Amino acid sequence: MIVLAISSEQMGRGDDRLGEVLMRSHLHTLTEVEPRPHIIIFFNSGVKLAVEGSAVLDDLRTLEDQGVRILLCGTCLGHFGLKDKVAAGKISNMYEISETMLKASRVVNL
């Protein structure tokens, strides 16, 4: 099982605008390539990618339609005041997130 863990709205460090472009491109690319991750976990500010108004919502919904599970850190959503704005994925908790990562054959961190 491949798990993708996304902890921010940007891919990489350095220029934030470039990082946002790279993250959008990466998530879109995942809808078109194999293998896809089995599960994508969003935590810290990464949860902002799965809420209303996010530029990647269509891609996240496509990934869900393709069978990719999307888990969102409930504590993180609460911290940012976004629990009522979730537009893709399932609100989860650290128990499920930790268990999922520990059971994975590979975890890719972004």
Residue 90 — very low, low, confident or very high, per pLDDT cuts 50/70/90?
A: very high
The count of domains in the chain is 1
CATH number for the domain harbouring residue 77: 3.40.1260.10
Q: What is the pLDDT of residue 17?
A: 95
Domain containing 83 equals 2-109
Reported as a single tens digit per residue, the pLDDT across 6-18 is 999 999 999 999 9
Position 93 scores a pLDDT of 97
Dig out the tokens for 64 from the structure.
């869900």
